[in-house]
Amino acid sequence: METLLKTNFNLPGQTAVYHGKVRDVYTINDDLLAMVATDRISAFDVILPKGIPFKGQVINQIAAYFLQSTADIVPNWRLADPDPMVTVGYRCEGFPVEMIIRGYLTGSAWREYAAGNRVLCGVTLPEGMKENQKFPEPIITPTTKAAEGHDENISREEIIAQGLVSEEDYRQMEDYTRKLFARGSEMAAEKGLILVDTKYEFGKRDGKVILIDEIHTPDSSRYFYAEGYQERFEKGEAQRQLSKEFVRQWLIDHGFMGKEGQTVPEMTPEFCQEVSQRYIELYEHITGLKFQPAASDNLEKRIEKNLLDCLDNLAE
């Protein structure tokens, strides 16, 4: 089954291209972005060597679903979805921070907590918490957005003091972050899921703070199944979840955490197919829609044609 690991288009009006961990982003006339969600998968800030079938389609279509479903509470960059793996939208000046919001103590936050740390990104955490416990109120734990290497935890005060974001813009980002998380949590609950934590990225266009990139996808979010959550929590058992955390855990179990000298374990076709099924399962759970896999042969040619048609229409 073909997977898309990289694109190399030369689009009309193209002024730049950026190959990220997962997306290939083309800048058109310095005004639009064409964002291609590839089938690459990353963990611990490392791009893994094998692609995951249909992952790009799943990620792009979940992001489009949530951008459309939250446009009434925050303006976003999306204009069109010309291909199952592509979103075209406005180019914004991105802020160099990611807004991470957590409703539960899990993942990296739990690892910090278990190591004895009680302050995370300037937020004081209550004593006596257990893994996967719900916070009294969701907490915002920003990180810097690194061009290369690892993102770093940073506090609200440090962001403002370093001039990374003005206080006014940061207040707006915080407000949008809480509203988006509340909406995402409501939508997840309707489908029997818990939105555990997620991240948002914002930029600026025409003086306004705009939501950019993907939201509420398994690449940027963690979901638990609501059914059985309380029982598992009380027993100290691992939660059933739909997220990329199981990939991270698989890597950890095989001795890889992205550190120097470590080697990525072999990703067998069976493992890649299992990851693919997890992504499709999340799509169907969170949207309530049946996943319709697009044809997976000649992916680059299909995407290029759909992109060219879309850019022609937008130019008219």
Helical axes 269-287 vs 245-253, angle rounded to 10°: 160
147 pLDDT above the threshold of 70: no
Give the count of beta carbons closer than 10 Å to the beta carbon of residue 86. 26
Q: Residues 57-85: pLDDT tens digits?
A: 999 999 999 999 999 999 999 999 999 99
208 pLDDT above the threshold of 80: yes
CATH of 94-243, one of 3.40.640.10, 2.60.120.260, 3.40.50.720, 3.30.470.20: 3.30.470.20
Q: Model pTM greater than 0.85?
A: yes
Q: Residues 285-309: pLDDT tens digits?
A: 889 999 999 987 899 999 999 999 9
Domain boundaries, the chain: 14-93+269-315, 94-243
The CA distances from residue 277 to 1, 36, 270, 283, 290, in Å, are 14, 21, 11, 10, 13
Quick one: pLDDT at residue 305?
96
The pair of three-digit structure tokens given for residue 48, joined into one six-digit string: 């893994």
Are residues 140 and 174 in contact, defined by beta-carbon separation less than 8 angstroms?
Answer: yes
Nearest in space to 8 (alpha carbons), one of 295, 297, 300, 311: 300
Q: Residues 19-37: pLDDT tens digits?
A: 998 999 999 999 999 999 9
CATH homologous superfamily, domain 14-93+269-315: Phosphorylase Kinase; domain 1 (3.30.200.20)
Quick one: pLDDT at residue 253?
94
Are residues 181 and 101 in contact, defined by beta-carbon separation less than 8 angstroms?
Answer: yes
If phi > 0 it is left, if psi is from -120 to 50 it is alpha, else beta; for residue 128 that is: left
From CA 89, how far away is CA 62, in angstroms rounded?
16
